[in-house]
Amino acid sequence: MKIRFLLLFSLLLFAFLTPVSASEVMLMDKDELKANLGNSDVVILDVRAGRDWSSSELQIKGSVRVNPGDVDSWAGDYAKDKTYVLYCA
């Protein structure tokens, strides 16, 4: 399964945590993500919306489901010293 990263959501998340420009947002491929599963410094956020989330039986192990439409309600809950991976379908 190819993991896609939604730049918009990562920019929104980081806008609430630390000001960042689009050129500073790094992308992670699936092999790098696999290597980081279980790393306490990496937080994986599932930002799939609507049917993409509700109809899927798949989830990345250890990921946390967050509503992409409510970034302002959950973005402040995360520490600034972590690496955040946002994924969607």
State both tokens at 2.
Answer: 């190819």
Is the model's pTM score more than 0.75?
A: no
Interatomic CA distance for residues 3 and 86, integer angstroms: 10
In the prediction, which pLDDT does 13 show? 53
Strand residues in the chain grouped as ranges (E): 42-46, 64-65, 83-87
Distance of CA 38 to the CA centre of its chain: 15
Q: What is the model's pLDDT at position 40?
A: 93
pLDDT at residue 86 in the model: 87
Q: What is the pLDDT of residue 3?
A: 40
pLDDT at 18: 56
Q: Which whole-number Å values give the CA distances from 42 to 54, 69, 83, in the listed order?
A: 24, 22, 5
Domain 7-87 carries which CATH code?
3.40.250
Ranges of residues in the chain with a pLDDT under 70 are 1-22, 89
Q: Spell out the domain ranges in the chain.
A: 7-87
**Number of other CB atoms surrounding residue 31 within 10 Å:** 8
